[in-house]
């Protein structure tokens, strides 16, 4: 009897693991979407949906964050990991972190120059940067496709907007492709 109970628990775990791991890939399937919306999504933190490529078919997509802290410092980097305390965000780790030089930018702008904002991002000499949630004022997220697979994300966006008159521009490795 105990064997069958453990077997049922293992099968149920594998089933929900499959649902979770393939949400971005199969969310357009009507039956799958019904199961996922009723069983899976209510039990997943909204932070997981926001800070990971969970909803995208390409699991190698990169989640980049622009994070404004309470002291006015603006950070940028790839969101690698996040931490929760109950349901609240307690912190996050950014890799390839950069800091915006606001003082230098405002000083050059006050001199009457027309500075290029991209020149004021400075790399932080660290592999990872941990930001505590108490210090975070605002988070802007950007979901970028992995370098090796820009096509599936472009197709996903095109299918999402349907027949509208919106053009999509995908930048990949310096080249630019436009689709109407």
pLDDT in tens, 49-107: 888 888 787 778 889 999 999 998 999 999 999 999 988 999 999 999 999 998 899 99
- Model's pTM, two decimal places? 0.66
What integer pLDDT is reported at residue 138 of this predicted model? Answer: 92
Asked if 55 contacts 27 with a C-beta cutoff of 8 angstroms, the reply is yes
**pLDDT confidence tier of residue 174, bands split at 50, 70 and 90:** very low
Asked if 131 contacts 137 with a C-beta cutoff of 8 angstroms, the reply is no
For residue 177, pLDDT over 60 is answered with: no
**pLDDT confidence tier of residue 3, bands split at 50, 70 and 90:** very high
Q: Measure the CA–CA gap between 153 and 165, rounded to whole angstroms.
A: 18
Locate the domains of the chain by residue range.
1-44, 63-142
The DSSP symbol for 39 reads I
| Residue range 63-142 in CATH 3.40.50.300 | no
How far CA 139 is from CA of 20, 74, 111, in Å, comes to 25, 10, 30
């Amino acid at each position: 009897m105990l064997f069958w109970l453990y077997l049922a628990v293992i099968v149920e775990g594998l089933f929900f693991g499959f649902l979770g791991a393939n949400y971005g890939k199969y969310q357009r399937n009507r039956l799958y979407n019904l199961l996922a919306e009723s069983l899976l999504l209510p039990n997943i933190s909204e932070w997981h949906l926001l800070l990971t490529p969970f909803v995208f078919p390409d699991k190698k997509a990169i989640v980049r964050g622009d994070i404004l802290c309470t002291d006015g410092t603006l950070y940028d980097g790839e969101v690698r990991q996040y931490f929760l305390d109950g349901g609240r965000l307690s912190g996050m780790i950014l890799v390839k972190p950069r800091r915006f030089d606001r003082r230098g930018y405002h000083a050059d702008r006050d001199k009457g120059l027309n500075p290029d904002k991209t020149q004021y991002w400075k790399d932080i000499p660290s592999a990872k940067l941990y930001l505590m949630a108490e210090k975070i004022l605002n988070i802007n997220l950007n979901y970028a496709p992995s370098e090796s697979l820009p096509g599936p994300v472009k197709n996903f966006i095109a299918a999402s907007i349907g027949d509208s008159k919106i053009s999509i521009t995908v930048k990949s490795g310096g080249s630019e492709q436009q689709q109407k």
